[in-house]
Amino acid sequence: MTNSDSSQSRLTARTKRRGAIWALVLLLAAGVAAGIWWQGQQSGATGGEGDAARQAQPSQGAGAPPAPPVTVANPIHKEIVEWDEYPGQFRAVDAIDVRARVSGYLEQIHFTDGQIVRQGDLLFTIEKRPFEIALDAARAQLAEATAQLSLAQRNLKRYEKMREGNIVGEADYDDRVEAVSAGKAAVAAAQAELEQAELDLGYTEIRAPVTGRISRHEVSAGNLITGGYSGNTTLLTTIVSLDPIYFEFDVSEANYLAYQRATERGVMPSMRKGNIEVFAKLPDEDAWRHKGVLGFVDNRVDATSGTIKARATFPNSKGVFIPGQFGHIRVPGSEPYKAILLPESAIVTDQSQKIALVVAEDGTVGVKILRVGPHYDDMRIIREGLEPSDRVVINGLLRARPGSKVTAQMGTIEPGPQAAATE
């Protein structure tokens, strides 16, 4: 065998071995593919059932989402009286400027600035000696005039007897008669001077004309003060009475007319009869705890402001109020009647309308158009549009849409502190 034949034989053998190896690889690949296919068929059968179940599960729970919860309550329905509120100011029933009636040197001050004084309490003393001297002089003058009158009367008696015997002339007799008349006049003048001197001496003690709180003294002891009944008299201090005390306020002409019309219909008492109960509070108070009586309404409307002045009287035994203090008063503005009340938070403003959302028995949200009145007890009076049996949404307004379904939970409306009914 030649070398070329041997090489050819070796090449043919290697080619056969390679073909066998590739055939084995293809056989293994086909086996693996067959196994994968078989497992895929088995898992596909069971997996298909699971997917179908999973796809069917949402369809079984499909539908509308659960209705959102809201809180509803029936509006408050009770008998009320509407109140009109006004700002005003307290005024003293008596406000006195204390001045001296006689001039002189201020000798002593008998009070402490700002204290409560009683009517008749001694406040100031003016030096008395000059007035005591004047009183003594008046007494002496009266005694002299009385003596002169007595002499004139005795002379007249003598002249009367002589006149009967025609011993004296008629002119002399008339002189004695005139002397008696002049003596009587002199006695009367001296008596008046004496009374004036006694009065002036009494005026050296300046006493409190009313019970109340005194201000500070305007003049210190030792100063000369000017007294009298006119001119530039010296102001010594001031006193204001405290109990009772006035509360003055202005009522608009429109409100005054409404009160008048209600009085004409017989549903409210007249404001001028002094028997209408009113209530006041101070700026730092929430409750209307102070009760008084409306006692005065002015006789004309102010042409500039269009208001009429009114005045109420309040007891002030504890000195809670002081003159000049500001406060608020409430006056009854209606007869007692049954009203429907809603909190402001349950009222929705829709453009120019006020509405309330109500829930029917089946959970459907509805709309009620309201005509509202003034505030009362931190709530709003509902004039029209709502019934006491309506279930009004008071919490969860954003979750309630007209026409939608909600889950209504019953609640209650708690009234706030009593307040005046104000616009």
Please say whether the beta carbons of 101 and 202 come within 8 A: no
pLDDT at residue 3, rounded to an integer = 47
DSSP string, 238-304: EEE--SSEEEEEEEEHHHHHHHHHHHHHTSS--TTSS-EEEEEE-TT--S--EEEEEEEE-SS--TT
| Cα–Cα–Cα angle for 51, 53, 58, rounded to 5 degrees | 105
**pLDDT number for residue 60:** 42
**CA pseudo-torsion sign 342, 343, 344, 350:** negative
**What's the pLDDT score for residue 48?**
41
- Is residue 136 within 8 A of residue 123, CB to CB? The reply is no
Find where tokens 């005054």 sit. 256
What pLDDT, on the 0 to 100 scale, is given for residue 217? 94
Query: What pLDDT does residue 210 have?
Result: 94
273 dihedral zone (left: phi>0; alpha: psi -120 to 50; beta): alpha
Looking at residue 346, what is its pLDDT?
Answer: 87
What pLDDT sits at residue 47? 42
Which pLDDT score is estimated for 338?
87
Series of mean pLDDT values for 10-residue runs along the chain (423 residues)? 49 57 59 55 44 41 72 88 90 95 94 94 95 93 89 76 66 73 89 93 94 94 90 92 95 90 83 86 90 92 93 93 94 84 87 87 89 83 89 87 88 65 43
pTM attached to this predicted model: 0.67
CA distance 283 to 280: 10
Structure tokens at 409: 């939970």
What's the confidence (pLDDT) of residue 21?
60
> What pLDDT is stored for residue 376 in this prediction?
81
Measuring CA to CA, how many Å separate 60 from each of 51, 53, 54, 117? Answer: 14, 10, 10, 91
- pLDDT score of 54: 42
pLDDT at 173: 64
